[in-house]
Amino acid sequence: MIVKIEKLVCDGYGLGRISDKDAGEKSGKVFLIKKALPEDIVEVKIVSEKKNLIFGKIKNIISPSKFRINAKCSHFENCGGCDLQNTSYENQLKFKDEIIMEIFAPTKIFARPEKIIPASKNELYYRNSIRYFFQVQNGKINFARHDFFDKNLLKIDRCFLQSEKNFEILELLKNILNNSLESKNSLWQLKIREGKYTSQIMIEIITSDENLPAEKEIVESLKIIPEIKSIYQTIAPYKSLKKMRRRLLFGSLVVLEKVGPFTFQISPESFFQTNSCGVKTLYDVIKKFAEVKINDKVLDLFCGTGTIGIYLSTLAKKVVGIEIVPEAIRDANDNAKINKIKNIKFVCSDINNLTIRQFSNHTIIVDPPRAGLTKKLIDDLSKVNFKRLIYVSCNPMTFVRDLKLFESRGVIAEKIQPVDMFPQTHHIEIVGLLRKKF
């Protein structure tokens, strides 16, 4: 099946069609092809079909796009980590702008998005967190990640989104484990977290039972690396993260990272933006939109570990952060103490059960998961006499869906700024400033 790619669409797919004379029963259907670029002509292997959509992967490139370059990573064609490394960063930004404009085009949303801005100068080596799977073959250990389509494990020698130091750690672990005669069947995942501005590293080895092969040698070898400040074993029975428990094998409970003048702790459970070097750019957009003044009160919904609220706290009279995850609230309170912030309070609560009207005349920030906001929360927020409403989203599709619901309730988008936090991937962060229509 030969397909010409017309454009990139949300989720990083190249969208294309085949000519009517060749289409047969596929006539009128849209092909969505991962790793394809506009103007590519490709032979496609069909992976799955859904209504009028056909999902496929490139079998052969008949005529390469003028936008195509050789990816730096030898695993690019199959790995699920990157999907835009085969084009220049300038083109990546161009395509992301086009994707955003196309999402907004059919809507009557009041504001139009600004051009996407790079979060940092780092196009590679920017990730502060990465997860690998242990792959045991013939008694030997490799490190693997998921294939982008079938989710089979793909052996990875290196990844250009993480630091070089991480590969020293991978090689060291591989050598220790491959020289061990102990059973390696309990090994499941390896997670490495790194403070880009502190150089502090946390190692988390996830096993399916209590057994950690070569435990003593692993700990003794890793702890002499100056950057490694914390080593955990996480035990996840039956490879389920729901019933996991942790053992601290070495060092401190947390590692530290900086965002501007603030220091934040990262525990194994913490959510922290994966691009440390880009977080300040994102938070500065939020800060610019919020225009917080000395007598203002701020409500930070989905506050996580409190990073946004703390970043704005020195400008405000008072900040309240709400989050449903107890571990995140614990970290948020610790982060406030580390930074000696006295005017902030964190509450563990389900946001959808919150009485929003008590926060009248607040500047409200929402930073929900990819699924976006519930209709109930949009209703509640629309009824509040807020000062400003800042919506931070990692999913442009649900962002636009929610903006349409807000506008039908008299709350309009005044400014929209996309931020490229994740070079080499299709992911886009987007910030909106909303206000009452009347």
Bridge partners of 228? 201
Q: 413: part of which helix (H) or strand (E)?
A: strand 411-420
> Which is nearest to 315 in space by CA: 338, 337, 344?
344
367 annotated ligand binder: yes
> Which is nearest to 161 in space by CA: 202, 117, 120, 209?
120
Is 431 in a helix, a strand, or coil?
strand
Residues comprising the chain, all counted:
438
Is 207 in a helix, a strand, or coil?
strand
DSSP string covering 23-47: HGGGTTPEEEEET--TT-EEEEEEE
**Range list of H helices, 138-202:** 164-178
**Range list of H helices, 126-200:** 164-178
Backbone angles phi, psi at 131, to 5 degrees: -120, 135
CA distances from 96 to 64, 153, 422, 426 (A): 20, 29, 11, 7
- Give, as one character, the DSSP assignment of residue 72: S
273 annotated ligand binder: yes
Between CA 277 and CA 263 the distance in angstroms is 14
Q: Name the active-site residue from 73, 82, 303, 394.
A: 394
Instruction: Say whether 277 is catalytic.
Output: no
DSSP strand E in 241-305: where?
245-251, 255-259, 262-266, 297-301
Q: 379: part of which helix (H) or strand (E)?
A: helix 375-383
Is 30 in contact with 49 (CB distance < 8 Å)? no
Between CA 388 and CA 390 the distance in angstroms is 7
> Which is nearest to 86 in space by CA: 49, 40, 131, 45?
40
Reported as half-sphere exposure (CB side, CA atoms, 13 A), residue 191 has a value of: 16
> Which is nearest to 402 in space by CA: 43, 103, 25, 16?
103
323 annotated ligand binder: yes
Residue numbering of the annotated binding site for S-adenosyl-L-methionine:
273, 302, 323, 367
Q: Which residues are catalytic?
A: 394
List, as residue ranges, the binding site. 273, 302, 323, 367
